[in-house]
A and B are shown apart, each in its own frame.
Chain A
């Protein structure tokens, strides 16, 4: 090769001296109205991120009204006692601000991002939304119709469809987690402004809420600012809602959601694990990364970089509902997609990767690289105020201490290969995995049955 001669080669450089970085520690306080506030000054971060967590979990939705928390969350930005829906959106955008609100199992979360020069305006709008939402009949009707229009789009999306099926498989019908977070056609259609207001009055109050404020706060008198905005929000006191226990059925089995003619099969394998209070969490993060965290992890090394069956397969753990006593749950999952003809061979290889992991374990080299990545990327990952605010809010939402993330980095660094292997093997036991495949049943059913990875049932996509 002549190409080799065209440049001067140098040995791979060695790392310089690492500069210290630590996950920021927030300050914690309480406003007069009972609102808990976490604040964190991040020099240079001109876009301030504010997260507000409201103790309005999905399990608090009244029976038959799944989706009311979602409609309420959306309605927060559809008008207040000061602005109509259109005006409110215009005021936000005029401030260069964005406000997102969504409802999930642990509660309702509002995320504001705004340039620091407009923080007073942004916080004022956020406070208005929480303090005095209009919930006008006409706006709620519109949001309900809009939500109903979205559902067919989700059903048609293979990734969304697979998630819906997996939750249905894993959890008993009586558990809120088994059902779509944003409701079904049947439940959403029943939601009106009275239902939204009732849910709001019952569950939205500063005493059980937390605000997280992160950004460059150099020239900001945050106490005064909060006093004039979120401090004006009032409500009764209440105890935090208890977290209901959730059972799950992870008997190994396969469900094919039939999508005739699909050129790919969407894969979602899952089971239920503990929440982040569990001592195994750090080792599980490490082991799961080695299994399927990136393109050079075990799954992609075979399924993508050797076989070309996929654009990428990932393994991950995601907390669904955390409890202060550690009795909460997470979803342990593997997701990706394979071209239709190779679905059987790809699953066979995937199971082979899991069996090999169980039989032979991880190598020290794999463990080292994983630790170096997971811990080393922290300063990159937390460059923006929004990233820091989001993690601080997750910790609060999951009843974890404010120094959890910093502690997790130390635990990761101290976790050995044997522990990481055990955690990964326990997280993904080959006979306790529920496999959802959204794809062309006529082509994939037989090869999947032949694998013997559990009973196979086929359901319709609609």
Chain B
């Protein structure tokens, strides 16, 4: 068995521990000590993401995340940023399908400030939220959308493929950035209602990791967060459950100004938090992770039909995960050539399963990714929150790599056989706009809505 190759004695957890606490208002708190460097990471996950958004208000969770940096009861304007950076800290927030996170990494002696700031906006954001910041951040987010998606080649591929892979009306049908029309339509009252509904201590997990005194830290958390009232009434998000397999091949061809043809696809895979998801992760790694994978060797090295070829995994807990194929073609190579080769490799892999050496390689790569993620206090704080929010147990973060190493070759083969099939994928094909096909250029319009 290729399992004796763990890179460190404790394989990823590195002897790390975490303790869990809960305030009377429902705020869950996870603490993890590590005194190697005089820094402490604060991470706060709110259990709300784009899957909670309603029709006509896509992008609201993310727009709201921006508003969380526009001041609160005791913090003026951009004070959150100013105070953290002025204390030698770094900070940000991000929004995904399933959660919104906010984080600060501070020099140890400034930890209390970060807790004070997070508590202030959790408890009193609406005291500062006004039209001016709403209008301003609406424009900022629209420019974020342009910069990251609309103004770059293939920039909207993720949005298009997600819309194909999850049916209309499904909570994951749209991506967190939202549509321009919905961003325009969002009102200040929408933002206020969003805060009142989702930003409550009992809908959040706070983790503090690093050079901390747990008792003192917990006392600060109690002091600053303890008086914020919890409230219920958060609507459950619409169910993301779908059959294991799509049952047909979904397909869209986009004719756009792109530098080369591309074949992208999203395969429907098991939910995050399951052993089957870890098995699928290993299958994707053998097939399309790094530069020794089957697809890279076939398309880039041997056939030389692609510039780049690889698989990624978008892990999702509340809906099927997505296995993400991305191949950009070389020179004049046509997409069907690539597609035939991909299908052949996937079918062969499903029939043969991984070799012992491939298993060892894939497990070593995933183990290394875990070492990287848990190797910084900020990464560890985020993972502890993730497992607490999505799976109810932060300790699972510290053993995640072990679970990946326990998966067998048979399970990996089974994942490929059951899931990596042509009738279980949404395919997005890019064809560059030329003088000949210019009139067809609006074929992507319906799907982009």
Interface residue ranges, A against B (CB under 8 Å): 1, 3-4, 6-10, 12-13, 15-21, 43-47, 77, 85-86, 89-90, 92-98, 115-118, 142, 145-146, 148-150, 152-153, 155-158, 262-264, 266, 294-296, 301, 304-311, 337-339, 368-369, 372-373, 375-380, 383-384
Contacts and interface: CB of A to CB of B under 8 A. Distances in A.
A149 B290 CA distance: 19
Nearest to A301: B78
Contacts of B258: 156
B143 A4 contact: no
A1 B126 contact: yes
B96 interface: no
Interface in B123-137: 123-127, 135-137
Interface stretch (B43-51, B57-65, B365-373, B408-416): B365-373
A7 B229 CA distance: 7
Interface of B: 7-8, 14, 34, 36-39, 73-74, 77-78, 81-83, 85-90, 105-113, 116, 119-120, 123-127, 135-140, 142-144, 146-148, 150-153, 211, 220, 223-224, 226-229, 257-260, 289-292, 297, 300-301, 304, 307, 328, 330-331, 357, 360-361, 364-365, 367-368, 371-372, 375-377
Contact of A94 (B126, B223, B361, B375): B361
What are the 7 closest A-B residue pairs judged by CB atoms, nearest first?
Answer: A376-B88, A308-B139, A115-B7, A7-B123, A96-B368, A152-B259, A19-B38
A383 B127 CA distance: 37
A142 B14 contact: no
A170 B107 CA distance: 40
A47 B140 contact: no
B8 A46 contact: yes
B8 to A, nearest CB: 5
A149 B307 contact: yes
Contacts of A93: 289-292, 361, 364-365
A309 to B, nearest CB: 7
Contact of A10 (B105, B116, B307): B116
Contact of B86 (A21, A117, A295, A373): A373
A4 B147 CA distance: 37
Contacts of A301: 78
Contact of A46 (B7, B148, B365): B7
B189 to A, nearest CB: 14
Given A6-B123, A338-B143, A86 B7 contact: no
A380 B307 contact: no
B151 A158 contact: yes
B410 to A, nearest CB: 21
B109 A90 contact: no
Contacts of B148: 311
A12 B73 CA distance: 12
Contacts of B89: 376-377, 380
Given A9-B73, A115-B371, A150-B307, A311 B330 contact: no
A57 to B, nearest CB: 26
A153 B139 contact: no
A17 B368 CA distance: 36
Contact of A115 (B8, B126, B377): B8
Contacts of B260: 149, 152-153
A184 to B, nearest CB: 15
B87 A13 contact: no
B78 A295 contact: yes
B88 A13 contact: no
Contacts of A98: 368
